[in-house]
C-alpha cells in the first residue's frame, strides 16, 4: 500500500506543479463586446477531452478529440467557434460574465490545466467635466487657477499656479478611484489642464489651457472689452437716429410735392334742352372773360302764322 500512496502523492504534486506553471492571462473587455479565448497550449499525448470551465466549477463547453464541441452551460450571449482548434469566443459579454475561464484536459492520470484567463467586463465610464471655480489674477502673466474635475458621482479639486507663463500644480497630480472602480485624475500637461476619467477599456476627458484662463481674467483685457462694447453701442444709436431723420425727411418731401400739384377743373356736362314744339333753341357762346356760363340756351319765339295771313 505504501508504494501506491507514494505514487498518488507524486502524481498530485506533479499536477500541482504543472498547474502552478500556467500563467493566468488578465483580459479586460468592454461591455457588449466579444472575446476570443485562444487555445495555443500543448495538449497531453493521451487525453479524453478538453473542458472550458467558468470559475473552476461550471463546465461551459466540452471538446472531444474527434467530435464537435458540446455546449454544457451557455453564457449570457452564447458561444462561437471561429477556429478549428479548441479556441472559444464569448459573445456579448456582460458584467456577470466576469470571472476565471480555464481550459482543462482530462487524461488517464487526472485533469491538466492548459490555459487560464481572468476576464473582467467593464462598462463605459461616464462623461467628465473640468470646472474653473475661481481665477485669482492681477495680470495676464500671473494667476492662480482653482479647478474641479467632476463626474456624476465623484470629483477632485486642485490648484494651479502660473508665473510668467510657467505653471505648476500644487501637490502634484491628483487622482482617486471612483465607486465604479474607474480612475479620476486631474493633472498638468505642458500648459494644458487635463481632467481624465478612465478604466481599462474606456476613457473620457476634458481640458483647458492655462494661458486662456489667465488672460481671460486680465483686468486690461476686461477694460478693452468694455470699451469695445461701448463703441459698438454708440455706433448703433447714431445709425438709428440718422435713419429716423432720413425717414422723416422723405415723408416731409412727399407731402410738399402733393401740396404743389395743380389739378384741372372738371368740365360741366350740360343737360339736353327741354322738348317743346313751339320753341327753337340756339347755342350761345360764353361771354368774353367769363369762367362759367349763366345759361347756354336762349328761347327764340316763332312768328305767328295768323298775322302773316
**CA 217 – CA 228 distance, rounded (Å):** 17
Buried b (16+ CB within 10 A) or exposed e, 152-186: eebbbebbbebeeeebebeeeebeeebeeebebbb
**What does the pLDDT look like over 236-294, one tens digit per residue?**
988 888 888 887 877 776 666 666 654 444 454 444 555 555 544 444 454 555 445 54
Residue 275: per-residue pLDDT: 54
Q: Are residues 111 and 68 in the same domain?
A: yes
| pLDDT tens digits for range 145-171 | 999 999 988 999 999 998 887 889 998
Q: Which three cell numbers stand for residue 101?
A: 475561464
pTM of the model: 0.58
CATH number of the domain enclosing 79? 2.60.40.10
pLDDT given for residue 158 in this prediction: 94
Q: Choose one of 68, 90, 122: the last residue of a domain.
A: 122
- Domain of 98 in residue numbering reads as 17-122
Q: Is residue 93 part of a domain?
A: yes
Q: How many domains does the chain have?
A: 2
Instruction: Give me the pLDDT at residue 195, please.
Output: 95
pLDDT tens, residue by residue, 22-79: 789 999 999 999 999 988 888 888 888 999 999 999 999 999 887 788 899 888 888 9
Q: Same domain for 27 and 108? A: yes
Q: What is the pLDDT of residue 179?
A: 80
23 and 60 in a single domain? The answer is: yes
Amino acid at each position: 500500500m505504501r508504494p501506491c500512496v507514494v505514487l498518488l502523492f507524486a502524481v498530485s504534486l506533479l499536477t500541482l506543479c504543472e498547474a502552478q506553471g500556467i500563467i493566468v492571462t488578465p483580459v479586460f473587455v468592454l461591455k457588449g463586446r466579444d472575446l476570443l479565448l485562444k487555445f495555443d497550449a500543448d495538449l497531453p499525448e493521451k487525453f479524453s477531452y478538453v473542458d472550458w470551465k467558468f470559475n473552476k466549477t461550471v463546465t461551459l463547453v466540452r471538446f472531444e478529440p474527434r467530435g464537435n464541441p458540446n455546449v454544457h452551460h451557455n453564457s449570457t450571449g452564447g458561444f462561437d467557434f471561429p477556429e478549428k482548434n479548441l479556441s472559444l469566443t464569448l459573445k456579448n459579454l456582460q458584467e456577470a460574465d466576469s470571472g476565471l475561464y480555464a481550459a482543462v484536459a482530462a487524461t488517464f492520470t487526472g485533469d491538466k490545466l492548459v490555459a487560464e484567463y481572468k476576464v473582467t467586463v467593464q462598462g463605459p465610464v461616464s462623461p467628465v467635466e473640468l470646472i474653473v471655480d475661481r481665477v485669482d489674477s492681477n495680470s495676464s502673466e500671473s494667476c492662480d487657477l482653482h479647478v474641479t474635475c467632476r463626474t456624476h458621482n465623484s470629483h477632485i479639486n486642485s490648484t494651479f499656479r502660473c508665473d510668467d507663463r510657467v505653471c505648476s500644480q500644487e501637490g502634484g497630480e491628483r487622482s482617486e478611484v471612483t465607486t465604479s472602480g474607474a480612475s479620476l485624475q486631474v493633472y498638468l500637461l505642458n500648459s494644458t489642464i487635463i481632467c481624465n476619467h478612465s478604466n481599462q477599456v474606456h476613457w473620457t476627458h476634458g481640458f483647458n489651457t492655462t494661458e486662456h484662463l489667465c488672460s481671460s481674467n486680465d483686468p486690461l483685457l476686461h477694460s478693452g472689452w468694455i470699451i469695445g462694447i461701448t463703441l459698438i453701442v454708440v455706433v448703433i444709436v447714431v445709425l438709428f437716429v440718422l435713419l429716423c431723420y432720413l425717414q422723416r425727411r422723405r415723408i416731409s418731401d412727399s407731402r410738399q410735392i402733393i401740396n404743389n400739384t395743380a389739378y384741372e377743373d372738371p368740365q360741366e356736362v350740360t343737360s339736353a334742352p327741354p322738348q317743346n314744339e313751339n320753341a327753337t333753341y340756339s347755342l350761345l357762346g360764353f361771354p368774353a372773360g367769363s369762367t362759367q356760363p349763366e345759361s347756354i340756351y336762349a328761347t327764340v319765339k316763332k312768328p305767328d302764322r295768323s298775322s302773316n295771313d
